[in-house]
Amino acid sequence: MTDPISLALVGVGKIARDQHIPSIAGNDAFRLEAAVSRHGRVDDVENFTDFDEFLKARPDVKAVSLCTPPEVRFDMAVKAIEAGRHVLLEKPPAATIGEAEALSALARTRGVTLFATWHSRFAVCVAPATTWLAGKALQSIEIIWKEDVRRWHPGQDWIWEAGGFGVFDPGINALSILTALLSEPVIVRSAKLEIPENRRQPIAASLAMRTPSGLPMTADFDWRQEGPQTWDITVKTDGGTLTLSKGGSEMYIDGQPQQTDTDREYAGIYARFAELVHAGQSDADFQPLRVVADAFLCGETIKTDAFHE
């Protein structure tokens, strides 16, 4: 039997507590040995406030899961890779395409695993949806991804700063599913970015996209939706209409339910990470990040009302 992979959790915030810690605990392939955070702590493991100190003190820890905000993640990832540690990157994997590609190249050079995670790709209905779409002629795709930022990101000011992504922080989840469903790249034709007058990142965005073969796609992202939340992707084909709802946890064909299950996205992430480490491989797909970058490059900026928590 293979010994568990010793792991450190870096960044002990809401997503780490809600998703990473329970998923690590539920996977026998890993043993959580340490945590690194300026403000948070994890019970029953060694805790550090400084990442460099952790790397020096715990050379026995073979892998790190980086759950910090993207704008500070690059330097930590570089240090971890150069120290010979396998690296899991929370989404989005980096603040820029340049950072992401540099990390991928460095991991190849150092011979360690780099896993750029997209948790929504592990939603229970994404794989069945991909199977159902195989062989069908796609006619159009519509994404509607609207949620309440106050509910999901309370007090997280970093999301509104440069490198924080704004509404693309959840929107990139939809784009990760989209790019998993398609065999062609996604091209952004135009975008409108609504930015509150007191913020630096968009609170809403609409994208018009296409594939090289001409498949039309649209995406509507909004962080101002109260009440029921909407995470839907609708794909019209010559064989019917497929809808993924609730972020990929429900699947419908022509309005008829096909499959639903509880959320196990992060459990899937850690199962995949263990598989990659044992195989000596990496999984670093940056397509969703590129779509977001292209939206910023060609997007029309629209000032909107100030946002206050």
Q: Respond yes or no on whether the N-terminal peptide bond of residue 69 is cis (omega within 30° of 0).
A: no
**Into how many domains does the chain fold?**
2
**The pair of three-digit structure tokens given for residue 127, joined into one six-digit string:** 């794989």
**The pair of three-digit structure tokens given for residue 90, joined into one six-digit string:** 């929370």
Of 83, 99, 116, which residue sits at a domain end? 116
Pick the catalytic residue from 14, 56, 91, 136: 91
Dist. CA 151–CA 19, nearest whole Å? 16
pLDDT tens digits for range 28-48: 999 999 999 998 899 999 999
Q: Which domain holds residue 189?
A: 121-261+293-304
In a domain, 286, yes or no: no
Same domain, 76 and 153: no
Of 94, 116, 138, which residue sits at a domain end? 116
Same domain, 131 and 83: no
Same domain, 130 and 109: no
Q: Which of 13-17, 165-169, 258-262 has the lowest mean pLDDT?
A: 258-262
Same domain, 53 and 132: no
- The burial class, CB within 10 Å (0-12 / 13-18 / 19+), for 300 is exposed
pLDDT of residue 14: 87
Edge-to-edge strand ranges of the sheet holding 138-146: 256-260, 250-253, 240-245, 230-237, 138-146, 216-222, 204-210, 187-196, 299-304
Contact residues for 19 (Cβ-Cβ < 8 A; gap 6+): 119, 265, 266
Contact 190, 179 (CB under 8 A): no
In a domain, 268, yes or no: no
Same domain, 167 and 94: no
In a domain, 96, yes or no: yes
pLDDT tens digits for range 177-228: 999 999 999 999 999 999 999 999 999 999 999 999 999 999 999 999 999 9
79 is catalytic: no
Same domain, 128 and 42: no
In a domain, 285, yes or no: no
Same domain, 298 and 164: yes
Dist. CA 139–CA 94, nearest whole Å? 32
- The three-point CA angle 79-296-178 to 5° equals 80
Same domain, 191 and 136: yes
Dist. CA 109–CA 57, nearest whole Å? 24
Same domain, 179 and 61: no
Dist. CA 14–CA 11, nearest whole Å? 9
In a domain, 284, yes or no: no
Same domain, 129 and 174: yes
In a domain, 275, yes or no: no
pLDDT of residue 98: 96
Same domain, 192 and 164: yes
Same domain, 108 and 139: no
CATH number for the domain harbouring residue 70: 3.40.50.720
**Global pTM value:** 0.94
Dist. CA 45–CA 32, nearest whole Å? 7
